Chains A and B, each alone.
Chain A
Amino acid sequence: MNTVRRAIFSEYLVCWLCVAYFVVVIPVVPGWLSVWSLSNVITTMLPLVVVAVGQMIILISAGIDLSLTATIAFASVVGASIMSETGFVPNPWLGVPLAILAMLLVGVMIGGINGLSVATLRMPPFLVTLATGMFFSGAAILYTSNVSATTSIAGLPRVFKLLTRESIPLVPNHLWLTIVVLFGVNILLHRTVFGASLFAVGMNSNTARVSGVHVHRTICLAYVLGGALAATAAVMLTAQQETGDPKLATNKLLDIIGATVIGGTSLFGGKGRITWTVFGVLFLVLIDTSLTMQGLPDEIVMICKGSVILVAAILDALRLRFAVT
């Protein structure tokens, strides 16, 4: 029984699974160790890691954000409309910083709306973020149709596109941005009052309130931070696709939530770590990439990913049960 409990509570279970899976598929998937394959895994996982960490912060506060993909899409088209050749500020040296700033502001704004609604109006996070997600998905399409003749915005400056290129093989430029973001969030979670408050609110908000924690402010900040990180992911994805796309990341919500859950972040709040989330994303991307390279149909890939996420959610519930009893 103790061994089972240790396995379930192990911090490194997903890490070892990643390593084992990576090694096991080497002889099975042709080209698995090629530069293209490794580069693909890295570039696919970086934006997902950033937005999944945002979701993790919100999950720690015992909330959930279903609007993160809409935030990415809306931020993408707003940023692209500013810096594109036909945009509001076509000069790249001025346009790119302004566009990135605008994208971050979009993330903060949507996160702020979610956070205020959940914290002060006490609305269920599921409902609020579902509604804002729908609103900003539609707004992204409407905005694009007003600023572009087609349903996407092209002609982005070369300097912006360089953000996701590989200056050194296997080291895309946005790897550094991701490292900085993860480092910053790690400090925020483990070296600040906000971080301690976040875990306290997630574990038991009433106890946290009695202990003097600003519960409303903490929850609100969690959503703002989540929105800002989604906007950062939007910067990466927009540069990667070289296009402001109102449907960008629309289908990634399951991956974002799934990766955090696989990583061991609790759906019940109060528990989560950046390294766990990184390995959760890595595991999901490894499965996705290897099965695609193997030429398996999309429905099989989805079934495999769904099964892994389901197992992770069951493990999360078991963790809680073992922890309580």
Chain B
Amino acid sequence: MKGEQMRITRRQFTTGTLTSIAATALGGCNRSEDAGKKTIAVLFDGLYTPFWIASHDAIVSKLKARDFAVTEAISGQDDSKQLSQVKSMIARGVSGIILVHTDSNAVIPAIRAANSANVPVVSFNRAPAESDAFSIAIRADNRKITRATVQRMVDVARQRSGTYKAAILMGHLGDDNAIARRDGFFDVVDQHSNFIKVVARIPTEWNADKAYAGLTNAFNANPDINFLFTSSDFMFPQIIQVLKAKNRYRTVDDPEHIVFGGFDGDQVAYELLRDKYLDADGIQDLEYEAELCVDAIVDMASGKLSQTEGETNPKIIQDPGFVIHQDNLDEKRDRMWGYTMWLAGQGHGELEQ
């Protein structure tokens, strides 16, 4: 072979070098310890509250404990990006997909794509809209848990006597969970309209800043609000700021105490209950939901559950959850995921009182 034919240009050299570096970098990311294992894709839309972080960690650790390899992606609340991620995972040959979507309608094409490739899908914590696409959804019975939580708040209010002006911080109304929590709240307070009047319905779109602004406005318009429910515990820090600013941050034994309830069961909720600022909190049994989720995806991947709707595999599996309050805190806190997190951190980073 002549030397002339062996010569390469600088551009060819640069391109070759760059692509070699890329290949080496990508190759280095292949995890040899996962070789031979079945892979489950865990696709969340974001890890933006303690609940989602704890859920993610619980699901991943349970999958790894069952000897599955896990691959992950975050869509950043972009449904078209999540559709692309689902297709990427199908192409990669995963055995199943655990999905947290943003919009219950926009997720349908992603589930349908997985259905057509025979890759099972479990929707975690949010159910997709009714359609021909099949996935099993694991979620808390939001309405029932909220009803029980608000009923406990009503019982507390009745014991304290007087009339009440109520405010609710609502979630993103494109999210079924937010709608169920809102409806659960009104199921109860509407039955007690003789002494509870709802004066503020605050839309937050699951945005803490909006929650802060909305609650501040509500207190400016109705300084005597004395019954407050938040559809998610992650808004507690903002609520506490507002209550402190209005000099209404009082413990349950104070006559000026606002009857106060929340939903989720995070670490701040535990601290507020322990310090007697919070009356009741609806708990999603996160460990149980994660277990149900992993059970469902493993059973579908192994063929124990079929990938079509039937009596043995309903479209939605509900976590009944429970309510934790001042009277049962010591008894039930071990099942509260926020307490587990608090224990793990031994109270580090506690809410400033």
Contact = CB atoms under 8 A, between A and B. Distances in A.
A167 interface: no
A299 to B, nearest CB: 9
A206 to B, nearest CB: 37
A243 interface: yes
Interface in B69-112: 71-74, 76-81, 83-85, 87-93, 102-106, 108-109
Given A40-B88, A245-B106, A295-B71, A16 B117 contact: no
A151 B19 CA distance: 43
A21 B91 contact: no
Given A16-B15, A154-B129, A295 B10 contact: no
Nearest to A302: B76
Contacts of A27: 23
B80 A237 contact: yes
Interface in A31-67: 31-32, 34, 36-37, 39-40, 43-44
Contacts of A241: 79-80, 83, 106, 109
B91 A251 contact: no
A123 interface: no
Interface string A268-295: 0000000000000000000011111111
Contacts of A240: 80, 83, 109
B103 A20 contact: no
B73 A243 contact: no
B172 A248 contact: no
A245 B79 contact: yes
B14 A28 contact: no
Contacts of B85: 292
Given A25-B23, A28-B27, A298-B74, A151 B15 contact: no
Interface in A234-251: 237, 240-243, 245, 247-251
Nearest to B14: A7
Q: How large is the interface on A (under 10, 10 to 19, 20 to 34, 35 or more residues)?
A: 35 or more
B91 A17 contact: no
Contacts of A34: 91, 93
A24 interface: yes
B80 A150 contact: no
A242 to B, nearest CB: 6
A3 B29 CA distance: 34
A60 B75 CA distance: 32
Contacts of B103: 151-152, 243, 245, 247
B173 A292 contact: no
B188 to A, nearest CB: 22
A20 B15 contact: yes
B80 A294 contact: no
A289 B84 CA distance: 8
A295 B173 contact: no
A27 B105 CA distance: 36
A17 to B, nearest CB: 7
B315 to A, nearest CB: 17
A241 B88 CA distance: 16
Contacts of B213: none
Nearest to A287: B22
B77 A31 contact: no
Contact of B174 (A16, A150, A251): A150
B182 to A, nearest CB: 12
B84 A250 contact: no
Nearest to B75: A298
B264 to A, nearest CB: 21
Contacts of B88: 37, 40, 289, 292-293
B2 interface: no
A24 B91 contact: no
B20 interface: yes
B117 A28 contact: no
B26 interface: yes
A17 B18 CA distance: 9
A250 B76 CA distance: 10
Interface in B129-143: 129
A24 B15 CA distance: 11
A184 interface: no
Contacts of A249: 78, 80
A180 to B, nearest CB: 22
A21 B22 contact: yes
Contact of A31 (B14, B72, B80, B93): B93
Nearest to A4: B10
A36 B87 CA distance: 6
Given A30-B93, A290-B26, 11 more contacts: A28-B26, A34-B93, A37-B88, A151-B174, A152-B105, A240-B80, A241-B79, A241-B80, A241-B83, A243-B106, A293-B92
Interface of A: 3-4, 6-7, 10, 13, 16-17, 20-21, 23-25, 27-32, 34, 36-37, 39-40, 43-44, 145, 150-154, 237, 240-243, 245, 247-252, 288-298
7 residue pairs, one from A and one from B, having the closest CB atoms: A151-B174, A295-B71, A37-B91, A36-B91, A154-B105, A40-B87, A298-B74
20 contacts: A3-B11, A7-B11, A10-B11, A17-B18, A17-B19, A20-B15, A24-B19, A25-B22, A28-B26, A31-B92, A37-B88, A152-B105, A240-B80, A242-B108, A243-B105, A243-B108, A288-B84, A293-B88, A293-B89, A296-B29
